Amino acid sequence: MFLPGRQVLQSALRRHNCRLFSATQSCRNARKGLVLGVYEKEQNGDSARFTEAGAAFDSYLSGKLSEMLSISGPPVKKGKSRVFYGLHEDFSSVVVVGLGKGSDGVCGKENWDSCKENIRAAVSSGCRILQDLEVPVVEVDPCGDGQSAAEGALLGLFDFDEHKTKKKFKVTTRLHGSSDLAAWKKGLIYGEGQNLARWLMEAPANHVTPTVFADTIEQKLAPHSERVIVHKRSKLWIEAQQMEAFLSVSKGSEEPPVFLEVHYNGNPDPGKAPLVLVGKGITFDSGGISLKPPSGMDAMRADMGGAATVCSAIVTAAALKLPVNIIGLAPLCENMPGGNANKPGDVVIAKNGKTIQVDNTDAEGRLILADALCYAHGFDPKAIVNAATLTGAMDVALGSAAAGVFTNSDWLWGQLHKASVITGDRVWRMPLFQHYSRQVTDCQLADLNNIGKYSRSGGACTAAAFLREFVTADHWAHLDIAGVMSNKDEVPYLRKGMSGRPTRTLVEFAAGLAS
């Protein structure tokens, strides 16, 4: 059958690739893969172009990669890829990934750096392809931003398969070349930090109890013991601190509560006020007496996502040796419907003496955070930032596009927003009107009610207004991360499962304060 010239070349290329792929199967242990980036054709440009590393590789091959790319199909679009086999004696497989337009940068409409996001997504895609091909070692083109490339590689390859017999093929990633080594190493630390949060959130609740959570963070911080102090506070200590709101949530479970307190001392100047990060640490949330419906309740093993992201951010800051002082606070417990559990209508007293009517035991996160926020003020902090998978209403409002930020400080909002533009893990400012405060202070039996007066209306906002009642600091922000807790396919460089968001944004925020 007669084939036009282009089709003849494409057919030959397919046969060539098949032969080379079969040959390389026999030397699996010696195989390496390579991920290279290519930009889309600009509007007024002549053709697509490789990154600096891609161009050097193509030049070494005397233009063979460009030739193969041109005859293998249409130009590689953003997020797409093409695989070639046997082009180079050192690499059994080469994946060319689309980076979009090289002129992409910070996008005001999207509130992120499109170039960085494109790199993360492209590198992630290329690494997964090579993982599926069971290539053990993958070299990655820095694509002009080694940090974003490293983040994409590590985040894209992570998969929680600890309790599965058949596990994902393990891949080691390396930087291709040495021009961006410092940025690459930084990106690996950022990626490892978010993956730690993902691991904590994904692990079954019977494997990560409050005690195990605290022990895990202590172990992760052990290599940085010269800069870090870890306190795992017991129930007796919590009682002595008069944290009755926190204790009331833990009463229904046989698992003992733990108040985890971590001090990272990155700045030796005693006059430098610390940043205090507070994370909600409900290691399983059944809803208590106000029991949740069974469908999807298994995901409530990740209701400690606030504590996971906060603590992982501190582990990352320590690994980066950021010159900033950070104190992490994580009230850890389970919310279970035991015989001693909170009952709707109960009244408890928070650490600052305010009384709280508990009309819904499934609004427990704000109770444990109330006591932790009161305690945070004792460190005379520069700023207090808390993170919590607090309300389903936040998921309804923003979905998985961004974490909601409620803050009393324009300066603090600016710092958090700036960090999120860099990481691509976005935040969005939400209102803290007195309108919402009146809905939690209009209470029949106590100073505050733990749910808003109109129940379903503005649920994320009334929850934030409740927390504000325990804040006197000038710079405080509450991040409601319920909407970004998990990932289906919204973030292309994260697999389906718990996301670990916004760990990298918290790290970048802390780094910004340090500088």
How is 19-55 classified by DSSP, letter by letter?
A: HHHHHHHTTGGG-EEEEEEEEPPPTT-SS-EE-HHHH
Distance of CA 137 to the CA centre of its chain: 25
Q: Is 426 a catalytic residue?
A: no
| Helix, strand, coil percent content, the chain, rounded in steps of 5 | 40, 20, 40
How far is it, in rounded angstroms, from Cα 190 to Cα 451? 36
How far is it, in rounded angstroms, from Cα 134 to Cα 309? 31
Residue type, 492: P
Which residue has tokens 């060539």? 16
Let me know: does 486 contact 498? Beta carbons within 8 Å.
yes
Distance of CA 116 to the CA centre of its chain: 16
Let me know: does 192 contact 147? Beta carbons within 8 Å.
no
Distance of CA 218 to the CA centre of its chain: 20
Q: How many CB atoms lie within 10 A of CB 295?
A: 7
- Say whether 465 sits in a helix, a strand or coil: helix
Q: Which residues, other chains included, contact 299 with Cβ-Cβ below 8 Å and sequence gap of 6+? A: 485, 486
Cα maximum dimension of the chain: 87
Residue type, 177: G
Can you read off the two tokens belonging to residue 455? 């129940």
In eight-state DSSP terms, residue 438 is: H
Q: Is 292 a catalytic residue?
A: yes
Q: How many CB atoms lie within 10 A of CB 90?
A: 10
How far is it, in rounded angstroms, from Cα 338 to Cα 286? 11
Q: At what angle do helices 434-441 and 459-468 cross, to 10 degrees?
A: 80
Whose CA is closest to 464, among 506, 436, 487, 505?
436
Q: How many CB atoms lie within 10 A of CB 5?
A: 8
The one catalytic residue in 101, 168, 292, 429 is: 292
- Say whether 385 sits in a helix, a strand or coil: strand
How far is it, in rounded angstroms, from Cα 453 to Cα 470? 19
Residue 56, burial from CB neighbour count under 10 angstroms (0-12, 13-18, 19+):
middle
Q: For the chain, count helices (H), then strands (E).
A: 16, 22
Which residue has tokens 């925020």? 509
Which residue has tokens 């080379």? 20
The one catalytic residue in 116, 366, 495, 501 is: 366
Q: Which residues are catalytic?
A: 292, 366
